[in-house]
Amino acid sequence: MTENPWGRLPAGAHGDLAALRAEPGSRIDMFWARRPDGNYTFLFALPDCAGADPDLPSLRGIETFWSAEKGALQLVLCNTGDWEIFATLCRDLIEIAKRSASDAEALDALAVRLARWQRLLMRGGAKLLDDREIRGLFAELVFLRDELMGRFGLRGLRFWKGPDGAPQDFTVGRWLFEIKAHLVGSSDKVRISSPEQLWAEPESPMTLVVTRLAQVQDASASLPALIADVRLRLGGDPTLEALLDERLAQVNYLPLPEYEDHRYDAVGSTHYAVTHGFPLLSRTAIVAGLQDVTYSIALNACGTYKTTVNWAAVMEELHG
């Protein structure tokens, strides 16, 4: 369990906060703190922003206070039992503030980040993704990093459409890609969570990408490490970083410390052309009234559909 950063702080006395500096080497002063009522608090001192009137969102279970007189942002946790998610939020905001060149830039960035957390918490709070969802997200990020960003650069992130409601995970021009994770040592099949995942129009070539994941002990192979690697490749572009954050929010991912324990090595992938005869539930097989249909595909029945993506053709059409 992550150590409680407020655990050794007494409650504040006589209207003052009891505070402990966070990140002593940072240009911006930040503090773990407790109010006289004992509530856990985090404080950003932004004196150069005194007089500002920032648009700060309200978060479920967390009160946000801005002192225009002092230029100070204070976050207060309403229920101390939720300290773990609050600590995760604060650490995330610390990293944002540390990268800011000025108080004004920090305040703007913190407001944007708090809005992201508002959306995350509204979607269901601090619930962890299950193991299958974690592996699926891991496989999608590997495909994004290695296949798309490796070929299309920063533009590759914009092809990630699944979290935004598209039936397939990635749409590259008219080419569609559905990504599945297969845990090494598990049964030789993949789960199709909805029939629409493998449906495509004749003019839209579809590829099923099965990425094999092996469980490892290396901390650098965790899901948060993979996300950090993808973020690093965005080169600090604030628009693309916001898009990455939005996609992660849409799949209900929160940067919780528990995800550090989920470590995988992508040991290879196999591509299958989803064409006529491929084992799937067709549109005509889904009669009126059927809902929430899921099924599995035996990979040993797909051998004749193995393919190699003609990336040169994809890139030529996109650039043409």
* The pLDDT value given to residue 19: 93
Residue 191 counted as domain residue: yes
Among candidate residues 122, 152, 167, the one where a domain is terminated: 122
Residue 6 counted as domain residue: no
pLDDT, tens only, 32-55 = 999 998 999 999 999 999 999 999
Indicate if 193 and 314 belong to the same structural domain: yes
DSSP-derived secondary structure for the chain: ----TTTTPPPP-TT--EEEEESTTSSSEEEEEE-TT--EEEEEE-GGGTT-------BTTEEEEEETTTTEEEEEES-GGGHHHHHHHHHHHHHHHHT-SSHHHHHHHHHHHHHHHHHHHHTTTTPPPPHHHHHHHHHHHHIIIIIIIHHHGGGGGGGB-GGGT-SSSEEETTEEEEEEEEETTS-SEEEESSGGGG---TTS-EEEEEEEEEE---GGGBHHHHHHHHHHTTTT-HHHHHHHHHHHHHTT----GGGGG-BEEEEEEEEEE--TT-SS--GGGS-TT--S--EEEEGGG-GGGEE---HHHHHHHHH-
Residue 169 counted as domain residue: yes
- Domain carrying residue 110: 18-122
Indicate if 165 and 289 belong to the same structural domain: yes
Residue 31 has φ and ψ, to the nearest 5°, of -145, 135
* The pLDDT value given to residue 3: 83
Indicate if 136 and 211 belong to the same structural domain: yes
* The pLDDT value given to residue 1: 46
* The pLDDT value given to residue 123: 64
Residue 3 counted as domain residue: no
Indicate if 145 and 264 belong to the same structural domain: yes
Residue 258 counted as domain residue: yes
Indicate if 154 and 298 belong to the same structural domain: yes
Residue 1 counted as domain residue: no
Indicate if 69 and 140 belong to the same structural domain: no
Domain count, the chain: 2
Indicate if 135 and 275 belong to the same structural domain: yes
Residue 199 counted as domain residue: yes
Indicate if 252 and 180 belong to the same structural domain: yes
Residue 25 counted as domain residue: yes
* The pLDDT value given to residue 125: 56
Indicate if 247 and 158 belong to the same structural domain: yes
Please give the structure tokens belonging to residue 201: 């129009």
* The pLDDT value given to residue 82: 87
pLDDT, tens only, 170-183 = 999 999 999 999 99
Indicate if 295 and 248 belong to the same structural domain: yes
Task: Collect the ranges in the chain with pLDDT lower than 70.
Answer: 1-2, 123-126, 320
Among candidate residues 122, 140, 170, the one where a domain is terminated: 122
Indicate if 76 and 113 belong to the same structural domain: yes
Among candidate residues 92, 122, 152, the one where a domain is terminated: 122
Indicate if 59 and 78 belong to the same structural domain: yes
